[in-house]
Amino acid sequence: MIKLSVNINKFATLRNSRGGNLPDVIKAAVDCEKFGAEGITVHPRPDERHIRYQDARDLKHVVTTEFNIEGNPIDSFVKLVLEIHPAQVTLVPDSHDVLTSNCGWDTKKNASFLKQICKIFNDENIRTSIFVNPDVEMIKYATDTGCKRVELYTESYAANYFNGREVAIEKYVKAAEEAVKQGLGINAGHDLNLDNLNFFYKNIPGLLEVSIGHALVCDALYLGLENTIQSYLRELKNY
C-alpha cells in the first residue's frame, strides 16, 4: 500500500492564529500516527507562520513513522534538517512570500545547485526528494542531481479532475513512467483529496507516497481525525 504522510502545517496555522498551544501540534502528529498515518510531513517557512523550527525539533523526539521535512533549501533550512536528521527531505522552490507551494523546480536551470544540496543530505543518509512539475524533461534532469525521489506537484491534476480526469492525469503518467525508467522513487502531493486520490493512485506507476495536509484537515473538521485518516487510507487500496 502507498504510504500516507500527513502534513500537519494546518494544525500549526490554527494554533498560531490564537496564540497558546491549541491545537497541540505535537499531539496532532502523535494522534495521526496512532490513527494509521505512515508518515508526518512539515514545511517550516522562514516567517514561521505555521510550523515553527522549534516544532520540527520537538517532533524529532515523538515521530515514530517516516518524518519528512520539506522546504526551500536556504541556509537556515539546511541547518535545521541536518540537526534533526529526518528520514526524508523534500526540496521545494517556494519563495518566502508565497501562500503555498505553487511550482516545481526547473531541474535543468538549477541542476548544479540541486546537486550540491542533494549531496549534503545524501552524505548524511537523509533521503532526498525534489518537488517537480509533471514534465518528462524535468524528471530527466532531476536524475542528474543525485536525488532519490521526485514529488509530483499535483495541483494541475486536482484542478482539472472533474473536467476530465483521464486528460488531467495523462502528463502525470508520462512523468511517472520516466521517473521509473530513471530509477527514481515517486511521491506526490498538493490538493489531493478524497475525491481524486484513488484514481491517481491506480494510474501512477511506481507511486510510493502521498503527502496530504489541507484537504485532510478540512475533512477532519466534519468527519473527525481518526475517521478521516482511515478514509484516506481506504482510498489508497485497490478496491
Residues contacting 61, CB < 8 A, separation 6+: none
Given the residues 33, 43, 151, 178, select the one marked as catalytic. 43
Is 70 a residue of the active site?
yes
**Active site annotation includes 235:** no
Does the annotation count 43 as an active-site position? Answer: yes
- Catalytic hit among 38, 190, 209, 235: 190
Residue in the block written with cell 492525469 = 169
List of residues 6+ apart from 193 with CB closer than 8 A: 158, 212, 215, 216, 219
Q: How far apart are CA 205 and CA 172, in angstroms?
A: 10
What are the E-state strand segments in the chain?
Answer: 3-7, 39-42, 66-71, 88-91, 127-132, 149-153, 185-189, 207-212
Please pick, among 38, 70, 151, 235, the residue that the annotation labels catalytic. Answer: 70
How many of the other CB atoms lie within 10 Å of CB of 25?
26
DSSP, residue by residue, 146-189: T-SEEEEE-HHHHHHGGG-HHHHHHHHHHHHHHHHHHT-EEEEE
Q: Which residues are catalytic?
A: 43, 70, 190
